[in-house]
Chain A
Amino acid sequence: MTRLRPHISLLLLLLILALLPFLVGLLDGQSPASMLAGEAGRSKFIQGLMIEIFILAIYAVSYDLILGVAGILSFGHAMFFAVGAYATGILLKSAGWSLGPTLIAVVGLGLAQAILFGVVLARVSGITFALVTLGLAYVFDILIKTRELGEYTGGDVGLQGIPRPDFLNPSDERLRFYYLMLVFAALVYLLYRRFVDSPTGRVCIAARENEERARMLGFNTILFKFVALTMASISAALAGMAYALFQPIVSPEVAGLGFTVEGLLMVLMGGIGALSGPMLGAALFKFMDFYFNKWFGESASFMVGAIYVLIVLFLPYGLVGTWRMRRRDMLAGWEELLERWRKMMG
């Protein structure tokens, strides 16, 4: 029963998300036929917002796998995402590749950057590693914006005019895109959950808690961290690919430190190490970003900042992390109460 419950709530959430486009459309008086035809309306708009959230959620949860599960401090996560986005854009546009080979190339590049980070991690750790990743990501950021490469990357302006396959057109086939991203995000989450509970994932957690001891037990900890890095890097690169396929323009901002910081905020708001938490954090972040800008204009970023500070101050384990802890305390409290009654009666 306890094993089943999380699956039920997950299934429920997936069901709601699967019906969401139609629920929104119905509330707005749009006919299902018109929605399936991809006609404009609130449903289509919400689908677009949710697609962005699914992509950000994968970005955030992949960052959480590194930070929260494996305990590796990295400031290069934006690069993991941007490599996928730019590779997709350049391969589809400048190289004229089709989607299949591009997908394989993005996975390959994800693996390559994990190897790059892994080689660094084998030599330095802790804050030194974090600074090296910061440097690597910075070099990549500069590279994208150089004028010499502008022909391919679009420089400061961003990469535009990426040809997309018709069946994934972000406007005409938005509903299909929506379901694809929903499935993608759900798969990444399920895969990560399995990983965290696997023999390999358990060692990652042990190494996060006490690396020296894990090594003395016989685990070559760097290999386990490398596995986590690889999973995170490939999923972030794939999220970047989805971003490049969906957005009209690949903005150079996704390669900047700012985007890494945003990922960090999503992780911390949702709860570090909680997997589902950072995904929720991504949704919260996107909603705040969008609606606050709409309602409050200029002052929106201050409000986002304030809410972030409040969450981190009062809920140090983030929304999901704190909720889990409360629930455990409550269960312990109930047990104690029952025990007391048992004694009184016995």
Chain B
Amino acid sequence: MSIILETRNLRKEFGALVAVDDVSIRVEKGSFHAIIGPNGAGKTTLFNLLSGNLPPTRGHIFYKEQDITRLPAHRMAHIGIGRSFQITNIFPNLTVFENVRLAAQAVGKDNFRLLSPASRFRRYEERAWEVIRQVGLDERAFMLARTLPHGDQRKLELGMLLAPDPELLLLDEPTAGMAAEQVPELMSLIRRVRETGDKTIMLVEHNMNVVMQASDVITVMHQGAVLAEGTPAEIAANEIVQKAYLGGLYT
């Protein structure tokens, strides 16, 4: 078993607030690794560090044994790390199709073809259609992203993550704000992606049913620090976790 991602004493301070407190985790290649914890535990901040969105105060990040701590955000997609956002982060005035097509184009080699129409680069368009069908937005492909209902915007967010075909997917509450009946569909899609492509998935999620069902490993964060780590069964049985977070559920 190889480790695809590792953090060593990763730390992020916002003034006096320690949002990520010396976090050291190892993520196995091909695993489904969930990060849980109460609001404000530092999960999104951890993702911001991993994706190069924020520089850490201290500590290191290793991806495939390479130190990527100081790698700029725009390099991440090119080395196979993709992320989705808890708060929908799309291009609101572009079409669904163009949002996804751009995500596919980003990792290609044609970004500086100044004078050829983008539609000439068929492979990005084909990839975009593939993903749009996968997330079930094909009927709305030519709508402006901002006119989509919230649930569909979440699907678009996922589509933009999938289009470049990353090896490591950082999913920050992909089901946030989705109608309950849409959640199983989205989760089975994520599981399918992982199985068909040998992907590693890191998932931040509040929905315990989803986490318990899907994960191989769960890391519990609390006030920036790692409180516990283990299989779903171990976490469910952990007394400290029960007290701090789960509050008596899943016993």
Q: Which residues of A contact B (CB under 8 A)?
A: 191, 194-195, 197-203, 205-206, 209-210, 212-221, 223-224, 227
Contacts and interface: CB of A to CB of B under 8 A. Distances in A.
Q: Is the interface of A mostly helix, strand, loop or mixed?
A: helix
A219 to B, nearest CB: 6
Interface centre among A199, A201, A212, A214 (most CB of B within 10 A): A199
Given A216-B51, A218-B164, A199 B91 contact: no
B114 A198 contact: yes
A120 B115 CA distance: 26
Interface in B103-128: 103, 105-107, 110-119, 121
B166 to A, nearest CB: 10
B92 A218 contact: no
A198 B115 contact: yes
Given A212-B89, A227-B112, 20 more contacts: A194-B116, A195-B115, A198-B113, A198-B116, A199-B105, A199-B118, A199-B121, A202-B98, A209-B92, A210-B89, A210-B90, A214-B102, A215-B73, A216-B74, A217-B160, A218-B76, A218-B78, A218-B164, A220-B72, A227-B114
- Chain B's interface size range is 35 or more
A221 B74 CA distance: 8
B53 A206 contact: no
Contact of B83 (A197, A200, A206, A216): A216
A200 B164 contact: no
B62 to A, nearest CB: 20
B89 A217 contact: no
A214 B98 CA distance: 12
A221 B94 CA distance: 17
**Which 4 A-B residue pairs are closest in the complex by CB-CB distance?**
A218-B77, A218-B106, A217-B106, A209-B91
B202 to A, nearest CB: 16
Interface of B: 51, 53, 72-78, 83, 89-94, 98, 102-103, 105-107, 110-119, 121, 160, 164
Contacts of A199: 105, 110-113, 116, 118, 121
Contacts of B93: 209
A216 B107 contact: no
A191 B115 contact: yes
Contacts of A227: 112, 114
Nearest to B106: A218
Contacts of A220: 72, 74
B245 to A, nearest CB: 29
A200 B112 contact: yes
Given A209-B91, A210-B91, A213-B90, A218 B74 contact: yes
Contacts of A213: 89-91
A197 B118 contact: yes
A202 B112 contact: no
A197 B119 CA distance: 8
A214 B90 CA distance: 9
A209 B113 contact: no
A214 B102 CA distance: 9
A328 to B, nearest CB: 11
Interface centre among B51, B83, B89, B103 (most CB of A within 10 A): B103
